[in-house]
Structure formats: structure tokens, C-alpha cells
Chain A
């Protein structure tokens, strides 16, 4: 652990006192929520646990959204909160909040340390639980008087956690069944998710896809687990997935789901999801299997181990020319496209892709711009696309990018955000400025909560109830007030020079693009709809 993110306050001061002497780098954010997201960004970009610190009461409650976000996307973070003294707990004391009670539904585990002797072991356990098995957030709440007491430090060599099993070997019989199913399939599909990235199984996925000639689709969390420029790649599946990917799901006879949750944004109407397919579901979390879709061949195991075991049973290569051809036709007939007149967000992202040669680490916020980023910025490597997928937290982007930039110095880190999302944590411009963290912010400003407006356009009689952002500031001037260089683009021609300048400038930079205000994200499967019934481009 080299970096922590946080904000001090009374109850956590003893920790800060020691932190100052420890040599661990501390990044002072401007709001605790950003500290949690930054820790997430750090973890998502590296696979190592991110750490955030906050004081009791409001400091702790400000972490809640970040913790919930990490929980939904299975990101290992450890949140350390100060608490009022043990004797004061339960009295509604000043800045007391029952943060272990509050975070019960959104942490993998949490602890209130009531005895100094347990402290070292608890911290150890917290890191262990956060990072093993299906990772997730863990919170450790430490009363003030615990941190000021002294105790002989003994880091327990072994943890005793009878209720926790983090590693499970793939079951040989199920592995054999999976291999047989793969051999028998005529229209197989690999469906990959965040679990592939967590377990580092991307090489195995690639090997399986290439050797067995299996096309690949992904969930948003799976972005980066398979090179998107690869000929076997079809795209993201689900509400804003590609046409070909969604069609493929409707046709396939075998889905090999690896580290995916079959989230409702992916499946659409559950009864109509993959109607002809057998499903192999590989996941380290037994509770995920069969939760949403029935799995014909369940494999509870680490994705990498499971794939290795399956690969070992698939000696010869295979080809599926007819299936590939069918998909190719869909892809050719329904490429992603947009109208080229005016300043389009898709164009900005395409140019960003070109200028960074697809090698930037991208963090996004939530809204239309997030979907455009998914669609128009293909990535090649795991841990290079960071987005709030399960919780869909606006305000995630900039702080997550901050954490990523700190975790991976020397790499280009870009936050793609919208005007609504950006304002949720706009104060973090101060943190960027303070530490000169080199995050390039691309703000796609449509003056709307665009995704909400799009839903209202399609599902709520175009009654745009409170989705227009009045009172937006001049974002370029705002950045300048923080001493950050910034530039606004309003036409297509200005895009490339602005991006070039942003990328060439050391340190943080903001590019604000005033995009076509009513641009929509297509394709779109209406919520609860069937995947092959998509609304595609073009306004009537």
C-alpha cells in the first residue's frame, strides 16, 4: 500500500498523526465521496486494493456511495473510518454515525473494532477479504480511543475465517461437461465480464476464443478483457450493446459466461434471453450462478483456473465458418453509426481514440457519454476502461481517473464526463490542481441530463421534466479559476487541435465540447424489452 485518499477530522486524527510519520502518500480530496471513488479508480486500474480514510459521522456517510459502487462492481477497497470513543457509542454523540450498520448491505464485510488487541488482525483480515474470492469493499470502523491506545503489534500469521471460503477448485465433472458442450456447439458465444479481469483470465479467454473459433461479447465490466479490435470480437451486449452482439445472443446455442452477472441491463427481458442456448456459467461466487438465468453447466471457480481446466480438455482446434459469417453480415449491416453534421460526441471520442492510439486509460461518468465512450473507444488491455457499471454513479469519473493516474504514472488518463456528472464532484478540480495530477477531462456538454432526457423522449411522452441543466457555469472559466488549462470547442474543426493540446500539455487539462444537445445513444433496447428489438439511430 503506497497511497491513501481521504480527509481528516476529529475522530480519525490519531490515524492521521501516525500516517504523517509513515511515509505512505496521502491525497487530500475535497469531498470524502471522491476519496472513495479515487480508491476505486486506483484498484480498478491496478488490481491492488485502494484505501480511503474518513472521519466519523459525515465523513463516514460521505463514503457510502463510493462503497456501494465498489460493491456492485466487485472492486477491492478498504475504507477506514474514525468513530467516536467506545464509551460514547450508542449515545448519538457528536459526529456519531452507525457506519457499520449503514454499510451492512453494501460491504463484503465490515468491522467495528472495540478492542485494541484486535486491531492489527482486523486490518489484516480486511485486506484479505477485500482482495480474495470475489473482491469487494470492506470497512473498518475504529473508535478514537482505540487508535490512541498502545498495543504490542502482532500481525497474525494466519487468519481464522471459518465462514469464508475464497478459493474453490473447478469441479472436474462440470469441466468435462463444459468442454463437451463447447465441442458440440455450432453457434457458441463467449460472454465475458469483470470477473475475467479480476482473475487475470484474459489470456485464457483469448486462447479459448481463438482455438475454438468462438466469437466474443462482453458486458460493460468486461471491457478490456478481450481486444476489441480482434476479428472475433462482436461488441457489448445489452441495452446499449451492438446489434450484432444482441442478435448473436438471440441465436446462439451455447453461451460461455465467464465472470458475468447476467445483469438486467444485459439480458433485457429475461424470458427472451438467449432462448436457444445452453449456458455455461463460470463464476467464483456461487450465489451468482442461477440467480438470474438458469445455468445448465455451473462452474464455481476462479475464472482463470476454470478456463485452464477447460482448455486442457479441448485438444483440437475448431472452426465455425457459418456462424462467423452470419455474425459478419450483421456487423456489416448494422455498424455503429451517427449523423455527421454538427459537433457530435461520437466524433470527439473517435478522434480521442485516434490521437491516443487506443492506449489511454479511460474513466467515464454515467449517462449518454458513458455509452458513447464504450462504443467509440475500443480498448485492448484489461484495466484500461474504468466505469461505474453496476451502480451507475454519476460523479465517479473524475475522482476515479485521479486514482488511476496516481496508480499508473506516466500513462495517459482521460476522464470522459457529462455536464451533469461533472458537477457532482467538480470540487476535485482542486485536488487535480493541488497535486498536478495529469488527468485529461473531456466534458461532453449537452446542457441536459442527457440520458434522462433520452428516456423521457422515448418512454415519457417527451415531457422533459427537470432534465435540463439551467445555471450551468462557464466550465472553462471554472477550470481556470482552479488554475487548470482549459479549452472549449464548439465546431468539428476545433476538436482535434484541442485534443492535441490537451494531450501535449503536462498535468491536468479540460476540454469542453458543446455537443449536439439532443443526440441519442443507439442502439437501445427499451428496459425489459427483448434484445433483438432495438431502436436504432435516426430521429423521425
Chain B
């Protein structure tokens, strides 16, 4: 071996790659099998955030990644440490978030013997990772770690797991960090096929009622600028999916907002009336399309995505185009002529007026109203992390997002408990920004211990908790589909959340009246550290619009 190759432990080599990749922080939880990595981590300048449960390490890494656009990193030990990651990994996988996860493993000689804290985590996570590795030879470690970062962050991003047996981490390693990643089985397509691009330009030209439909892929590829340019150039309205919130500023006239089972009325109507639907980095998930055979009945569908497997998976596609959204839009902009669609935009205006987003009767404090105030007071510029439930939908509908990477939410897997750790990751990624968590009493309890992490890290975070003493989204389903037989949704043992916040050293405020809302929000905006505002709301509140199973997107239930 050449003299310049230095020998260091595998664990040390991992740190070298992390530093070369520019990793500045990792989220994790130590334990026996991963101690060699921790031992070396403590010698680097990389900041470590000790969470309270491993699940939240992945969620926090994912919140960090979504907010910053960089790859999130987390560490956990073998066995229970690794299995605790599973929900976080699945959540990141469904939303295509780049995270690299390092797990300790029992020594290679014991792998397969059901040793203490041994779990086949690479086997378990095959269905929920973009790729994973069990490292058996320390000389492969630098290459594998580098590959992991490359795979996680390129193409369609996603989680990659690297499982490192303890003896491998401790073994001497000579291999240098490779200069380049060479993977003969992995080659994402970035540039659009010229013929297909021309075809799309033609479709756009022919269309009289075009609709651009933007999803998480737009944000992942940083294509929001091109999207805005295109929308304005051809005067096409833009709707988004849940993950696409923020890809297009909602305070502009061409914006329609979110489409889907709880989509905005005018966006849903527009989908049903358009003659060309251009899906950009969307999955046409079942939550978006409603009854698939009734989806966009008058439209030709063009689908642009970096993942060829998404195209044609759920809806029939008239024009498939594989590529990175930024590349494709840039190339497309050169091919399209400016256009105007006055009739279509007029029709949109009518839809908007006829079907405004409203909310019906409810309790004293209306969650929708609270979120609207929050949107105004922060001018749509805060970073909003959410949990899963009714509050998630209200946060999606009523805030008004203006920038990408400001809506951080578990969309594909719908994981309760995601919010708080994701918000912590977001706050660490963007200390310059106000970060709000909008959560529910059921969801917050799933990861509430992370308040301790937030305090320990000294971050500034505002928590807006809608407490309806129930799993109200489930209650809503039981209301509509199960004869109002409300089962297992009522929380009688809920803690006093304000006192609880105070136990952790946070500020707690409770709101029970409408006039208390604005002052409380204002106070939270002033304050550093953690402020929790508990809004007591009625469990009978419903999320509207609502498209029932089997209905088309424009057959929405609306509040009276």
C-alpha cells in the first residue's frame, strides 16, 4: 500500500466521510454496538443531538433535511435502537427525504446467532429504504458510506441505511475515501427526452385550460423558480399536492392551493375541468385522486418525474417525461411561447368565488381561524411542521405557504408523532427562521418527550396544540363511515399540557376564548425558547372540504 494511505479505525473513517460530505449535525442515541462510532464522533466538530427515542432521531433528521435541502444523518445502536428507527425510515421513504442512517450491529462473528441485541435490520428495512448495506469488510466502509450519501441525495431522494458491526467499526481500515462513486446499477435520468419535451410544449400550446400540478418533486429539485416562470409565461394556474405546499406561493393569483380528498374547492374543481394536467413531481396518490376513474375526466395528463416507476403507476398518462423537474422545466421554458388563457382564468375566478374555503359552526375557538391568524401574523413565512390528524389538514388549508421547504409534514405515511422531532430538526437547520409546530393532543403525546431535547438544544420553537381530547380525525371517519359509533378515540387521561410544558422548562399558555388567540400568538412570536400554546377546541369540529370514498374530486362535502 502506498505510504500516504493512513490506517485508522473503521469508525474514524466513517467520521472522515461525514466531514467530507459536510455533515454538521447528527441525531442519535447511543448503545453498546454503536459506541465505537460515538467514541470517534465526540472527537469531531460534528454536533450531536441526543434525542429521547430513536424514532425521533430519524424524524428530526428528516425535518432537518426537508428544511435545509441537505442530507439528514442519524445514529442508533443495534437491536431495539435499530427497530425503533423503522417508523422514521418508512416515513422518510414515503416522502422521498434524503437521510443516511447508521446503525451499530453485533460483531460479524455473531451475526445470525440471535445474539444479544441482534436484529436483522437490513432485512427489515428492505421495503422502506432506497438502499441499505450490511458492512462486513472494513475496507469497504469508506466507499459504502460515500455511496450511501450519493444514493440518498440524488435521483429521487430517500433513506439509506448502513449497518456496521462493532468489530468492523473497531478494525483498522486502510482504504481511502474514493474520489468518485461508481455504481453500475444506479443512474438517475436528469434531462428530459427532447422529443417528449417538444411534445409537452405542443400540448401546452394546444391546451385552453391547462393546469400545473406541483408536488414534492418540485421542492426536492429546487424547481420553484422555474415553475413560477412557466406558470406566468403561459398563464396557467397551479395546484399542489400536500407535499407540494410551498412549491408555488399561495398569495399569488395563479395559485389554487392543495388538491385532494381535503383539497381546496377551487383546486379540486379545476382538476375536474382542466383539459391538460401537467403533473410535476407528484405521485397521484390515492389521497389526491379520489376515485381514480373519475379523476381529471376531461384532461390529457402529462407526468414529469425523476422516477420512471411513478409514471403510469396510478393514473393513465398521455405524455410521460422522465427527468429532474428543474432540468425539464428549464428546457421546457425555452420551447414554450408566452400564452394567455383569459376564459380559463375567468372560470377559475368564478370557481374561487362560488366555492370559497369556509368553515362551519364549531366551538368557541375555531382552529381554522387560529391558523389563518397565524398565517397573517407571520406573513406566510414561518416554517410550519405538523403532526397528523385534523390539525394537519387545517395547517395545510389555512396557513398560506409562500416558500418551499416551509411545510414539513408526514404526507405519504401520515405518521403521528412526526411533528415535534421534525420541528426540532427544522429549527436546527434554520435558526434564522420562526418555526411553528401545529399538532394535536394524540400526536404530540407520541413524541412529547422530545421537549427535553428541544430545551437541551436551546432552540427556539413555538408549539400550537389543538387539544380536542380525542383522535378527532378518526372520530371524523367514524362519523361519516361507521354510523357515528365512536370507538377508542376519547382521551380521558390527557395530561395538563401547560403544566407539562413547564416541567420541561418551556412556557405554556392556554387558550379557551377567541379573543385570547391573537395576544397568545403575538406573545409566542416575541419569546425565545419553547412556547406551547394549548388551544382547547371542540372534538366535533370537522375537516372540510371532504371527498367521500368513491366520489369524484368535485363532489365535496362542504360545511353548512
Q: Tell yes or no: B186 within 8 A of A by CB.
A: no
Report whether A57 and B116 are in contact in the complex, using a CB–CB cutoff of 8 Å.
Answer: no
A436-460 CB mask vs B (1 if < 8 Å, else 0) is 0000000000000100100110011
Give chain B residues whose Cβ lies under 8 Å from the Cβ of A72: 79, 114
Report whether A105 and B35 are in contact in the complex, using a CB–CB cutoff of 8 Å.
Answer: no
Say how far A195's CB is from chain B's closest CB, in angstroms.
14
Distance, CA A267 to CA B22, complexed state (A): 43
Residue of A nearest to B499 (CB): A481
Report whether B487 and A94 are in contact in the complex, using a CB–CB cutoff of 8 Å.
Answer: no
Q: Tell yes or no: A58 within 8 A of B by CB.
A: yes
Residue of B nearest to A84 (CB): B286
Q: A105-B119, A452-B31 are in contact. Are A392 and B79 (CB under 8 A)?
A: yes
Q: A28-B488, A391-B80, A427-B445 are in contact. Are A481 and B35 (CB under 8 A)?
A: no
Report whether A94 and B113 are in contact in the complex, using a CB–CB cutoff of 8 Å.
Answer: no
Report whether A478 and B124 are in contact in the complex, using a CB–CB cutoff of 8 Å.
Answer: no
Report whether B80 and A481 are in contact in the complex, using a CB–CB cutoff of 8 Å.
Answer: no
Give chain A residues whose Cβ lies under 8 Å from the Cβ of B413: 57-58, 61, 95, 97
What number of residue pairs across chains A and B have CB atoms under 8 A from each other? 250
A17: contacting residue among B446, B482, B504, CB under 8 A: B482
Report whether B286 and A8 are in contact in the complex, using a CB–CB cutoff of 8 Å.
Answer: no
Distance, CA A222 to CA B227, complexed state (A): 64
Q: Which residues of A line the B interface, CB within 8 A?
A: 6-10, 13-14, 16-17, 19-20, 26, 28, 30-31, 33, 57-58, 61-62, 64-65, 68-69, 72, 88, 91-95, 97-98, 101-106, 261, 263-265, 291-292, 366, 388, 390-395, 423-427, 429-435, 449, 452, 455-456, 459-461, 463, 465-467, 469-474, 477-478, 480-483, 527
Give chain B residues whose Cβ lies under 8 Å from the Cβ of A26: 487-488
Q: A65-B80, A105-B120, A427-B445 are in contact. Are A13 and B478 (CB under 8 A)?
A: yes
Q: Tell yes or no: B175 within 8 A of A by CB.
A: no
**CB under 8 Å from chain A, chain B span 30-76:** 30-32, 35, 38-39, 41-42, 48, 50, 52-53, 55
B277-294 CB mask vs A (1 if < 8 Å, else 0) is 000000101110000000
Give chain B residues whose Cβ lies under 8 Å from the Cβ of A430: 445, 491, 493-495
Q: Tell yes or no: B132 within 8 A of A by CB.
A: no
Give chain B residues whose Cβ lies under 8 Å from the Cβ of A452: 30-32, 35
Residue of A nearest to B478 (CB): A13
Q: Tell yes or no: B108 within 8 A of A by CB.
A: no
Report whether A390 and B116 are in contact in the complex, using a CB–CB cutoff of 8 Å.
Answer: yes
**CB under 8 Å from chain A, chain B span 475-503:** 477-478, 481-482, 485, 487-489, 491-497, 499-500, 502-503
**CB under 8 Å from chain A, chain B span 127-163:** 127-128
Report whether A477 and B487 are in contact in the complex, using a CB–CB cutoff of 8 Å.
Answer: no
**CB under 8 Å from chain A, chain B span 73-110:** 79-80, 83-84, 86-87, 90-91, 94, 106, 110
Can you list 22 contacts pairing A with B, beta carbon distance less than 8 Å?
A26-B487, A30-B442, A30-B445, A58-B413, A64-B86, A68-B79, A92-B313, A93-B286, A95-B414, A106-B119, A264-B110, A366-B80, A392-B79, A430-B491, A434-B492, A455-B32, A456-B39, A460-B39, A465-B35, A466-B38, A471-B452, A473-B505
**With contacts A423-B452, A433-B493, A471-B453 known, what are 8 further pairs, Cβ within 8 A?**
A58-B87, A61-B90, A106-B83, A263-B116, A391-B83, A392-B80, A463-B39, A465-B35
Report whether A426 and B449 are in contact in the complex, using a CB–CB cutoff of 8 Å.
Answer: yes
Give chain B residues whose Cβ lies under 8 Å from the Cβ of A392: 79-80, 116-117
Interface range on chain B (Cβ under 8 Å from partner): 35 or more
Distance, CA A102 to CA B455, complexed state (A): 34
Distance, CA A83 to CA B79, complexed state (A): 26
Residue of A nearest to B411 (CB): A94
Distance, CA A6 to CA B48, complexed state (A): 34
Give chain A residues whose Cβ lies under 8 Å from the Cβ of B120: 105-106
Say how far A72's CB is from chain B's closest CB, in angstroms.
7
Q: Tell yes or no: B368 within 8 A of A by CB.
A: no
Distance, CA A95 to CA B412, complexed state (A): 6
Q: Tell yes or no: B451 within 8 A of A by CB.
A: yes
Q: A58-B413, A97-B413 are in contact. Are A263 and B115 (CB under 8 A)?
A: yes
